[in-house]
Amino acid sequence: MSTRISDELKSWIGREATYTAPEELGRAAIRYFALALGDDNPIHHDEALGQSTRHGGIIAPPTLVCETNQIFPNTPDENGYIGHSWPLPLSSSRFMRGGNEYEFHQPTRPDDRITVTWRIVDIYERDTRKSGAMIFVVSEARYTNQRGELLAVNRETNIHQP
Amino acid sequence: MKEPRTRRFEDVTVGETLPPLEFDVTLTSLVMYAGATWDFHRYHYDADFVAKLGMLAPFMDGQMAGALLARQLMQWGGADAFVRKLSYRLRGTVYAGDSIVLHGTVSGKCVEEGRTLALCTLSMTKSDGTQIVRNATAAVELGRSS
């Protein structure tokens, strides 16, 4: 059935890659992210308000921790991409994002220095009604802070059209 | 000092709707999100480049959809809220020039590991009716009284 998934491709399941940010997340990064989303929620920028809540200070918007391009020691590729990617032995004519499953274990804070570990959890082929046979690559990223505390888990599915 | 606006677990009713969130996706907002996430891929600003890929216009990153869903949940829940889980599948592409609206409903309430959670179901729809996200699920931890 899985004719398009070679043994070599399959061997990527379980591979891991870990990166640690060179500095703390910072208040400016939180404010920039909120601004881009039109998000004026004071919990992301008002320290006095944050201290009056159960969070005890400002917290980052939940999904910001899952955006880790700035952690990677890369320079932009020819298309401008700078983040983590798996050099999979896979020729795809088209690439799509399938979706995300996030679990947030605790809020990310301005002083957090984030480490991300990416792991490929599955690669499988499936026939889709719209586009025929597609290859699904499921990755899981775990994010921790400088104390080794788990902040979030992000399972994402990327879809490749052969 | 003004009390922070917080939605308490006790005050949430299953079936209640979250305030809809409208968002105009412009080239400017795509560039702002791309900048904020260090995502300099041409997908998000280079019209000629994406046209060669058969795309209509520069388009939104998939995680920006998640960020907007989380924004809606956090604003509804108020200052003590925290999103614990969020899961969604993307059914289409959002392009620069699209207007989208997010709708949400409280589908349940529970206490899990001592956490007071509102379970929500969310959607994201373009103004032309195209559904981008349908039945996204989320668990939002809310503050409680006492």
Residue A73 counted as domain residue: yes
Q: Nearest CB to B74: which of A38, A62, A94?
A: A62
Residue A116 CA, distance from chain mean position: 8
Whole-Å CA distances, A138 to A115, B1, B89: 20, 48, 13
**Chain A neighbors of B38, CB-CB under 8 A:** 67, 69-70, 82-83
pLDDT reported for residue B1: 41
Residue A2 counted as domain residue: no
pLDDT digits (tens, 9 = 90+) for A91-120: 777 788 889 999 999 999 999 999 999 999
Residue A138 counted as domain residue: yes
Could you list the residue range(s) of the whole structural domain that residue A120 is in? 7-161
Side chain identity at residue B79, one-letter code: A
To 10 degrees, the CA torsion angle through A84, A88, A90, A94?
Answer: -10
CA distance A76 to chain B (A): 7
3-class DSSP state of B69: helix
Rounded Cα distance, B146 and B142, in Å: 13
Residue A127 counted as domain residue: yes
Q: Nearest CB to A99: which of B35, B85, B89?
A: B89
Chain B residue nearest residue A104, CA to CA: B84
Please determine, for residue B102, whether its predicted confidence score (pLDDT) is greater than 80: yes
Rounded Cα distance, B13 and B119, in Å: 11
**DSSP codes, chain A:** --TT--HHHHTTTT-EEEEE-SS---HHHHHHHHHHTT---GGGT-HHHHHTSTT-S----GGGGG--GGGS-----TTS--S-----S---SEEEEEEEEEEESS---TT---EEEEEEEEEEEEEETTTEEEEEEEEEEEEE-TT--EEEEEEEEEEEE-
Q: What residues of B are in the A interface, CB distance below 8 Å?
A: 1, 4, 6, 23, 29, 32-33, 35-43, 49, 53, 61-64, 66-68, 70-71, 74-75, 79-80, 82-90, 143
What is the complex's ipTM, to 2 decimals? 0.95
CATH number of the domain that A47 lies in? Answer: 3.10.129.10
With an 8 Å Cβ cutoff, are A97 and B89 in contact? no
Residue A32 counted as domain residue: yes
Residue A1 counted as domain residue: no
Quote the pTM value: 0.94
**Chain A neighbors of B83, CB-CB under 8 A:** 62, 102, 104
Please determine, for residue B49, whether its predicted confidence score (pLDDT) is greater than 90: yes
Residue A3: pLDDT band by 50, 70, 90 thresholds?
A: low
Residue A101 counted as domain residue: yes
**Chain A neighbors of B39, CB-CB under 8 A:** 67, 69, 81-83
Rounded Cα distance, B60 and B128, in Å: 17
Please determine, for residue B4, whether its predicted confidence score (pLDDT) is greater than 80: no
Residue A4: pLDDT band by 50, 70, 90 thresholds?
A: confident
Question: Under CATH, what is the fold of the domain B9-141?
Answer: Thiol Ester Dehydrase; Chain A (3.10.129)
With an 8 Å Cβ cutoff, are B4 and A52 in contact? yes
Cα Rg for chain B, rounded, in angstroms?
17
Residue A52 counted as domain residue: yes
pLDDT reported for residue A94: 78
Instruction: Show the tokens assigned to A12.
Output: 């990527």
